[in-house]
Amino acid sequence: MRTRTALAALILAPALAAVPLTIARANHVRIEGTVESQPLPPAPTVIVPAVPAPASNLQADEIRAHRVRAQVIYANKIEADDVQGIVHQSDGIRVKDAHGDVKAPEVAANVIYADEIKANSVIAENIYVRDLKRR
């Protein structure tokens, strides 16, 4: 008799372990109201204006702009409110083949050669200038 009980326990033990001992029901919980699905608004369209690649070199007698950006700037005179970059004192430069005066909201190039730059901000890694005036 003991062997039968032990054998039955060995056979039924895995089956009993797989069956949950309690069954949970939640029929007493009711949520009233209706759920209306609203259509999602269309995804906004983002238009990114194309930024032209800066010219490789710019040579000008005078540059007037809100912002002047370059890797390197060579100038005889710079008047600006904000100058960002490493400023090197130079003896002056001669601008050959200057293309006249440049007036624009923003001027960008890899290298800028100018006799005079007047801007609100001048941003370059290296700025070689003879006369620097901050406004």
Number of domains in the chain: 1
37 or 95: which leads in pLDDT: 95
Could you tell me what percent of the chain has a pLDDT over 70? Answer: 64
The answer as to whether 93 is a domain residue is yes
User: By residue range, what is the domain housing residue 115?
Assistant: 55-134
Cα-Cα-Cα-Cα dihedral sign, residues 123, 114, 127, 70: positive
The string of pLDDT tens digits covering residues 50-109 is 656 666 899 999 999 999 999 999 999 999 999 999 999 988 888 777 778 999 999 999
The answer as to whether 87 is a domain residue is yes
The answer as to whether 33 is a domain residue is no
Average the pLDDT over 1-5 and give the result: 61
Q: What pTM did the predictor assign?
A: 0.59
The answer as to whether 24 is a domain residue is no
Q: How confident is the model at residue 133 (pLDDT cuts 50, 70, 90)?
A: very high
- Give the residue from 95, 91, 87, 90 showing the smallest Cα distance to 125: 87
